[in-house]
Chains A and B, each alone.
Chain A
Amino acid sequence: MWDYTDKVREHFLNPKNVGEVENPDGIGEVGSIACGDALKLTFRLGKDKKIAEARFKTFGCASAIASSSVLTEMIIGKTLEEVEKISNDDIAMALGGLPKEKIHCSVMGQEALEKAIAYYKGEPEKILEGEIICHCFNVTDVDIRRAVQEKGLTSLEDVTGYLKAGGGCGNCHEEILQIIQKSQGMTILEPKKPAAGMTNLQKIRKIEETLESEIKPALIRDGGNIELVDVDGNRVLVRLQGACATCSRSRITLKDHVEARLRTLVAHDLVVEEA
């Protein structure tokens, strides 16, 4: 069991400000169901331009719920200029600390807050900078380098605890370690030679096999299905069927389930699109 502080337990068991603000001025949504945690933060400004109401909805563990709850308490009554300065460290500190494996929960709070403020200001959504290193959790080399340098992370475990990067299939561990070593000015280990590439036919067969054995059973169980239409380079064109075809969450199914599984089991650069 995790070693949570009394404050984390209190906010988890008796969370404050659960729900959604009606007609919010700011909306920030981060995370996904595939990643294991997600947060929707909403706030409304009062006439004095201070946050009058803030609410959250969180899918996640005790520290994710506690981080969301304490964040709403921290921002209510403050101006946007004041809350813009709130960092994940402030959130973790307000909880009396988090286990290092759970720091990413506080990072999720900070990111949701940034997004909610950007929404209020009408700023466009940030585009991911750099190359995606961890495909399970969509984390780029730029994110990892920044976290390593700014937060003084020195190990793979630190990076996973902070950004979740490397916490899934593990295929990116070597690349993460190289970024850490480079940031520390260490000699870079020779990169592993890439595995011998598959021919197009092998890749298509592997995609078909994976769809049949790993992906279809779950979709069929939910009343849906999927059909492979074409493979064009790294683009996998599919057609959702049954309940999946009309589901409002079909994009999540495509990206967080189908694409993630194919990237893990076939090739890391596949992009799944609806035909």
Chain B
Amino acid sequence: MTPVYLDNNATTKVATEVMEAMLPYFTELYGNPSSMHTFGGQVAASVQTARQEVASLLGAASTDEILFTSCGTESDATAVHAALRAFPDKKHLITSTVEHPAIKALFEKLGKEGYRITTIPVDSQGRLNMELLTQSLDEETAIVSIMWANNETGTLFPVEKIGRLCREKGILFHTDAVQAVGKIPMDLKNMPIDMLSLSGHKLHAPKGVGALFIRKGTPFSPYIVGGHQEHGRRAGTENVASIIGLGRACRLAEEKMGEENTRVRAMRDRLEKELLRHIPKCFINGDPDARLPNTCSISFEYIEGEAILLMMNQHGICASSGSACTSGSLEPSHVLRAMGVPHTAAHGTIRFSLSIYNTEAEIDTVIEQLPPIVARLREMSPFWSEA
């Protein structure tokens, strides 16, 4: 049985081209980019090419605006701590109720350390309450950190509008764009975003590499100190092979953006349409209009997600219930709770996230296998007969 992998918001496979680009950097090109000899020099040049490839995908004005990190979480923490150090007297931070744990847990920790945290709620479709955000910006606000795309529902936030509001008040704006980068076009040189996080393994680069975009002129101080790597902005010898992989993955993403937004979107839409047609009492979570092209969060009422996942796994279908990072929790995901998804459905929510490597035949498999699984579990559910 060939597995059907539809959990690409958790992680993606490393693209063949990416792996091939990385391989020489484990063998003959093993120099330290900080070294002043040939071995170091050629590697440093390749790292710079990768930086250019990342900058190009983001539409950044300069390669100097790209800082390589170890992951999205480190990029997020670096951005937020940089803002706090830049404005030591400002003790107010703003985020949303549906952030990834990388920001959610960081802000909760900062809240316990004395910062005033405002968490902007979303509506039932996961859309940010912009009125409340506008009212919450004040002179005390050091940074606003709102994700570009939600990892569970795919809902896109109006980052350009948020950035404009922040800029009017002189407040730094950071966006966790880990799920958005490579899936939707970006043109940061013309957008009011001060800092942006991305992660390699969400766009077919390996795990353990990420980047932070820092607009020129944004006040910044390093999160990790030590050596002079990354122009003194992040100490630690560069993860060269992975950085090369990230660069190549960004180039590929730029080339494949059209496919992501047409073929992948069409497959996702067909999956949703057919599941809704064949399975009663289920619904899609997220903004129906502004949503990532690859993500489908669907709630099946009166049954539980883990049971659905394991039964799908028997048929080789791999997806996720809510967020992969929160599996193991007894409560429905904080994203679904923030959206007010009723308990009758929140526990039975499955996230399918596609990539350019998925095929129509794989989508057919899900459309064929899932309805009987849902029916079987509902037959066992004490709530179904009364529904």
Query: What is the interface of chain A, defined by CB distance below 8 A to chain B?
Result: 1-2, 12-13, 15, 18, 29, 33-40, 56-62, 64-65, 101, 136-137, 160, 164, 167-169, 213-222, 248-249, 253, 256-257
A15 touches B304 (CB 8 A): no
**Does B124 sit within 8 A of A, measured CB to CB?**
yes
Report whether B383 and A38 are in contact in the complex, using a CB–CB cutoff of 8 Å: yes
Nearest chain-B residue to A29 (Cβ)?
B382
**Contact (Cβ within 8 A) A18 B382:** no
Q: Are A65 and B331 in contact (CB under 8 A)?
A: no
Q: How far is the CA of A60 from the CA of B303 in the complex (A)?
A: 7
Q: Would you call B59 an interface residue if the criterion is a C-beta within 8 Å of the partner chain's C-beta atoms?
A: no
The CA-CA distance from A253 to B340 in the complex, in Å, is 12
Contact B124–A221 (Cβ < 8 Å): yes
| CB-based nearest B residue for A68 | B380
- Residue-by-residue, is B313-341 near A (CB-CB < 8 Å gives 1, otherwise 0)? 11000000000000011111000001111
Flag if A13 contacts B304 (CB, 8 Å): no
- Given A58-B381, A256-B343, check contact A33 B331 (CB 8 Å): no
Contact: B342 with A36, CB < 8 Å? Answer: no
Of B314, B328, B343, B347, chain A has the most CB atoms within 10 Å of the CB of B343
Please tell me if the beta carbons of B347 and A57 are within 8 angstroms of each other in the complex.
no
Q: Please, how many angstroms separate the alpha-carbon atoms of A130 and B341 in the complex?
A: 32
Determine if A168 and B331 form an interchain contact, defined as CB atoms under 8 angstroms apart: yes
Contacts of B338 in A (CB 8 A): 214
11 of the cross-chain contacts (CB-CB < 8 Å) are A33-B347, A33-B383, A36-B331, A59-B304, A59-B381, A137-B330, A160-B330, A167-B329, A215-B340, A222-B342, A257-B343
Q: How many A-B residue pairs have CB under 8 A?
A: 93
Q: Give the distance to chain A from B341, nearest Cβ to Cβ, in Å.
A: 6
For the complex with contacts A18-B380, A167-B330, A219-B342, 12 further pairs of A-B residues with Cβ separation under 8 Å are A2-B306, A12-B310, A33-B343, A36-B330, A40-B382, A58-B380, A59-B303, A59-B347, A62-B310, A167-B329, A168-B331, A214-B340
Shortest Cβ distance from B125 into A: residue: A217
**Contact yes or no, B343 A57, CB < 8 A:** no
Give Cα A15 to B377, complex, Å. Answer: 11
Chain B's closest residue to A160 (CB) is B330
Whether A62 and B307, one on each chain, are in contact in the complex, defined by CB atoms closer than 8 angstroms, is yes
B311 at the interface (CB under 8 A from A): yes
The chain A residue sitting closest to B314, CB to CB, is A13
Q: Is the Cβ of A34 less than 8 Å from the Cβ of B343?
A: yes
For A62, what are the chain B residues with a Cβ–Cβ distance below 8 Å? 306-307, 310
What are the residues of chain B within 8 A of A12 when measuring CB–CB?
A: 307, 310
A214 CB, nearest partner CB in chain B, Å: 6
Look across to chain B and name the residue whose beta carbon is closest to the beta carbon of A221: B124
Q: A13-B314, A213-B121 are in contact. Are A59 and B330 (CB under 8 A)?
A: no
Nearest chain B CB to A247 CB, angstrom units: 10
Q: Is the Cβ of B347 less than 8 Å from the Cβ of A36? A: yes
Note all chain B residues with C-beta closer than 8 A to A222.
Answer: 342
Q: Is B129 an interface residue (CB 8 A)?
A: yes
A contact residues around B381 at 8 Å (CB): 57-59
Contact of A218 among B313, B314, B328, B340 (CB under 8 A): B340
- B379 an interface residue at 8 Å Cβ cutoff? yes
Tell yes or no: B123 within 8 A of A by CB: yes
The complex places the Cα of A9 from the Cα of B20 at a distance, in Å, of 40
B311 partner residues in chain A, CB cutoff 8 A:
13
A213 vs B120: C-alpha distance when bound (angstroms):
11
